[in-house]
Amino acid sequence: YQKSKDLLDRASQVLAGGVSSEFRKYNHPHAIFYTHGEGTLIYDVDGNTYLDFTLSQGPLIVGHSHPKVLESVETYSREGQLFAGQHIKEIELAEKLHQLIPSAELMRFCLDGSEAVQTAFRVARSKTGKNKFLRFEGHYHGWLDNVAWGISTPSVEALGEDDNPHVFPWSAGLSPNSKDDFIILPWNDLELVERIVAEKHAELAAIITEPIMCNNGCIVPNEGFLQGLRTICDRYDIALIFDEVITGFRLGLGGAQGYYGITPDLSIFAKAIASGYPISAIVGKKEWMDEIVSARVIHAGTMNTSNPTVAAALATIEVLEEDPDTYNRMFRLGKKLKDGLRVAAQETGQNLFVQGTAAMLSTSFTSLPEVKNYRDTLQADKAKLGRFIAGLHDRGIRVIGRGLWYISAVHTEEDIDKAIAVGTEVLKEIR
């Protein structure tokens, strides 16, 4: 990895931190630099090839550099950069999402997930006339001020002020008010949500949740939990916001809401909807999105919906739709990988815990029989996970540093066999 090491030295002269914080803590002696990716493969500057299960943090649902996406981006780019949302392709994309996503009566496009989350918050505040939000431990909703402070924060309500270790080194510079915007509760505990909302509903504009807790542990909702949130929000005039930045297009073209059959008031789609080109959508029921129609809520952005990003989204949808078996196949591969790694853990006597659903899964090392919430994830052996991920990496398998694996529409049975075989080898070695 000498070339990567040299590049990190070079980068550190001009890029703050050399690489982004996510990769600074990547489980390797130093950051690795890559040259390009194609399909399920990615290549580093030192000549190594990797089978990629990071999909660039999720977006590359049809793999790296899909020819149809590239072709479409090129074609539309030649039409000129039609900014500010006044072109036919934007309408076409909106019509398509309207068809696919159950709650998408109206929508607007932004550049990324974090921005779209903020738009949802404004809409919720504007319509309800209330100010606070309820969010859940271990969920991630972007890095902007009023959500960033609590990325992985156990709740004050649950732990009490004294026992709440939520001052993170990177929280310097956040708005001092941002902490007061949120009530944070453990996820999947409907009774607790009911109790707290009954007390605080007069202040609550919205409940925001990842429909599957993907940012810590890939934990699915308890039976009835999402429906319970729906009922509570209806009872107290609170917006139910699904943050589908990860689940959107990963659980199907209708996102988790289509998959679970629960319709939120507002939701956010990003990552996979355009194969990593910068576009996100805030979608919702008309009665909520009318806050934007009436211009009570500002929605703006010079770069929103330029031709290439809309083209990337339309092409991604086309690729995902063209084979009716796409999602079944991805889900099958996900299950195969999950089962294979579980067998590998048993055979090697390792306390590797594998869970997840559809085409994503999470690996951690824990002595707990189950990982059911964020606090369980805190008990996992992160150092050992680091050794596992680094071991996989050194044998040509790339996985997200916190143990998350994403499967794309172009991964094959052979890819999964390879991942299981390599995973088994690494498990035999690590302590």
Among 140, 260, 269, 327, binds ligand PMP (CB under 6 A): 140
Gyration radius of the chain over CA positions: 21
CB environment 179-188: b (16+ within 10 A), e (fewer): bebbbbbbbb
| 207 contacts ligand PMP (rule: CB under 6 A) | no
CB 262 within 8 A of CB 230: yes
Is residue 140 annotated as a catalytic residue, yes or no? yes
Q: Does 119 bind ligand PMP (CB under 6 A)?
A: no
Residue 270 contacts ligand PMP per CB under 6 A: yes
Q: How far is the CB of 120 from ligand PMP (least distance, A)?
A: 11
C-alpha closest to that of 373 among 193, 116, 114, 241: 193
Q: How far is the CB of 138 from ligand PMP (least distance, A)?
A: 11
Residue with tokens 């909807």: 273
For ligand PMP, which residue of 4, 40, 103, 114 counts as binding (CB under 6 A)? Answer: 114
Q: Is 257 in the site for ligand PMP (CB under 6 A)?
A: no
**275 scored as a contact of ligand PMP (CB under 6 A):** no
User: What's the rounded Cα separation, in Å, for the pair 263 and 288?
Assistant: 13
Tell me the torsion sign for CA atoms 139, 274, 325, 95: positive
What is the Cα 353 distance to its own chain's centre? 21
The interface region with ligand PMP, picked from 134-142, 176-184, 316-324, 376-384 by CB under 6 A, is 134-142
SS3 annotation, 64-122: ECCHHHHHHHHHHHHCCCCCCCCCHHHHHHHHHHHHHCCCCCEEEEECCHHHHHHHHHH
9-17, 79-87, 241-249, 392-400 -> range binding ligand PMP (CB under 6 A): 241-249
Among 46, 105, 112, 394, binds ligand PMP (CB under 6 A): 112
Length of the chain: 431
- Rule CB under 6 A: say whether 276 interacts with ligand PMP: no
Pairing mode, strands 182-185 and 280-284: unpaired
Q: Which is nearer to ligand PMP, 53 or 140 (CB)?
A: 140
The correct pick among 31, 240, 245, 333 for binding ligand PMP (CB under 6 A) is 245
Candidates 67-75, 106-114, 197-205, 281-289 — which segment interacts with ligand PMP by CB under 6 A?
Answer: 106-114
Size of the site for ligand PMP (CB under 6 A): 13
- The residue from 271, 285, 338, 372 that is catalytic is 271
Residue 181 or 243: the one with the smaller Cβ distance to ligand PMP is 243
Q: Does 142 bind ligand PMP (CB under 6 A)?
A: yes
384 is annotated as an active-site residue: no
Q: Is 304 in the site for ligand PMP (CB under 6 A)?
A: no
Has 243 been annotated as catalytic? yes
Smallest separation (angstroms) from ligand PMP to the CB of 161: 27
- How many alpha carbons lie under 13 Å from residue 336 in its C-beta half-sphere? 18
Which residues are known catalytic residues? Answer: 140, 243, 271
* Contact residues: ligand PMP, CB under 6 A: 112-114, 117, 140-142, 210, 215, 243, 245-246, 270
